[in-house]
Amino acid sequence: MTTSDNDSPRIFYGYIVAAAGFIIMGTMYSSRYAFGVFFKPVLTDFGWTRAMTAGALSLSMLMEGLLGVFMGGMTDRFGPRAVLTFCGFLLGIGGFLMSRIDAIWQLYLYLGIIVGIGLSGAWVPVTSTIARWFLKRRGIMSGFVLTGTGMAALLTPPFADWLIASLGWRNAFSIMGIGSLVIIVLTAQLFKRDPYQMGLLPDGAKIAGEKVSNLQDTGLSFREAISTNQFWIAILMLFSFGFCMFTVVVHIVPHATDLGISASNAARILGSMGGVVIIGRLLLGMLADRVGSRRIFVIGFILIPLAFFWLIPAREAWMIFLFAATFGFAQGGMGTAEAPLVAEIFGLRSHGLIYGVMGLGFMIGAAAGPWFAGFIYDMIESYKMAFTVCAAISLMGLFFIILLKPIREDRAEP
């Protein structure tokens, strides 16, 4: 395979893939970040407990993690376009069906299973594809793509709050579900699996007159990866991250309203966290290209327990906003560093499958955290115990990332 200045496209197609990834991540995760706003209206109409209601989202995240393994493998084999089209369709249908729920089993079926399967085609296929298109700019481009989730966290809660206030929660679900289906399915058609498919090189590099090795074939196979200590340590680290992150995403709005903060202000707290996530994605994404992704996780796992220790006694709105800013900055950088960290440790040969299985650790944590916090609240009518546990688990995450050492180069040979 050769490329030259004359036959290279003026605009590197990887940037088009990145822009499409930004749109898809923002659209797909709008449903996830909106749930905290829908939480109380749905709970109030049906009289369900917080643990029962949050349990549907926990099931959704568990399905996302389990099927993410499959979708990662399918991305390695068939490419991201087919995976994203299929999952975008399911996500939109599930969101629309949420407007029709009348019983708890429907909440678990539509949100827990259908939306969960739809979301399984989001994170791993998109970020794994970006890891293939970029090498030197992998951190910053991953950060850019994942700012889509930050935009979703910033814009979706106030938008969903406005829709619910104007049209009711059922119509709000319908509008968001149909809109998601159309946007995701159309945007997915822009995806290509890797630059070699188009006769290009990562980062838009131009090398004339030389045979270029396909970097996607370097690194460990899935079987080799799971035989390393690093694989299992990374899973435990990602479990800690997922547990803390989605406990906040689901319960920070109900916690704020419990303190007497208005629903609109509580939605702004969640939205402001999304805004700071964007800053964290970009700034820490650039830093990751210079210092490595592992150190970004170290920074994050220092900031997160500090944020929780601040949140536990917090009573005023400005204190919750400050928590959201600190937590969002750490969350943004850590989310950006995930796929590059997998590439740095294990290579690209089986990146999608390895990342999918490792991501299962994150999703198990993400499923357990919201349910646990809801269960604790139902018992003692306070989130303080749940947030204390989150602080302890985030300190465990710091311990695991410190243990996570690079694999010896001789193990990474193809």
Of the spans 56-70, 177-191, 357-371, which averages the highest pLDDT? 177-191
Q: How far is CA 163 from the centre of its chain?
A: 24
Alpha-carbon distances of 66 from 73, 264, 348, 359, 390, rounded to whole Å: 12, 34, 21, 9, 23
Q: Is the pLDDT of residue 14 over 50?
A: yes
CB-based contact 397:241 (threshold 8 Å): yes
207 SS3 class: coil
Higher pLDDT, 68 or 17: 17
Q: If pLDDT is split at 50, 70 and 90, which confidence band does 214 have?
A: low
Tokens of 328: 């969002």
CB-based contact 275:328 (threshold 8 Å): yes
Q: Is the pLDDT of residue 203 over 80?
A: no
Of the spans 153-167, 187-201, 324-338, which averages the highest pLDDT? 324-338
What residues does each domain of the chain span? 13-406
Tokens of 153: 């966290």
Instruction: Report the pLDDT value the prediction gives residue 201, as an integer from 0 to 100.
Output: 79
Give one DSSP letter per residue of 316-373, joined into a string.
SHHHHHHHHHHHHHHHHHHHHHHHHHHHHHHBSTTHHHHHHHHHHHHHHHHHHHHHHH
Give the mean model confidence (pLDDT) for residues 223-240. Answer: 93
Alpha-carbon distances of 383 from 260, 262, 269, 340, rounded to whole Å: 14, 18, 17, 34
How many Å apart are CA 43 and CA 377, to the nearest integer? 14
How many Å apart are CA 41 and CA 407, to the nearest integer? 49
How many Å apart are CA 147 and CA 328, to the nearest integer? 12
18-62 tens-digit pLDDT? 999 999 999 998 887 788 788 878 888 888 887 888 788 888 878
Give the mean model confidence (pLDDT) for residues 317-326. Answer: 94
374-404 tens-digit pLDDT? 899 989 989 999 999 999 999 999 999 999 8
Instruction: Report the pLDDT value the prediction gives residue 37, as an integer from 0 to 100.
Output: 81
Higher pLDDT, 184 or 346: 184
Instruction: Report the pLDDT value the prediction gives residue 217, as an integer from 0 to 100.
Output: 58
Q: Which residues pair with 347 in a beta bridge?
A: 219
> What is the widest separation between alpha-carbon atoms in the chain?
70
Q: If pLDDT is split at 50, 70 and 90, which confidence band does 9 have?
A: low
The set of residues, in sequence order, having a beta carbon less than 8 Å from that of 198 and lying 6+ positions away, is 13, 192
Mean pLDDT of the chain: 85
Tell me how crowded residue 408 is: count the other CB atoms within 10 A of its CB.
Answer: 9
CATH architecture of 13-406: Up-down Bundle (1.20)
Instruction: Report the pLDDT value the prediction gives residue 212, as an integer from 0 to 100.
Output: 45
Q: Give pTM, 2 decimals.
A: 0.72
How many Å apart are CA 122 and CA 83, to the nearest integer? 9
Does residue 80 come out as left (phi exceeding 0), alpha (psi in the -120 to 50 range) or beta? alpha
Instruction: Report the pLDDT value the prediction gives residue 141, as an integer from 0 to 100.
Output: 87
Tell me how crowded residue 229 is: count the other CB atoms within 10 A of its CB.
Answer: 11
74-95 tens-digit pLDDT? 887 888 999 999 999 999 999 9
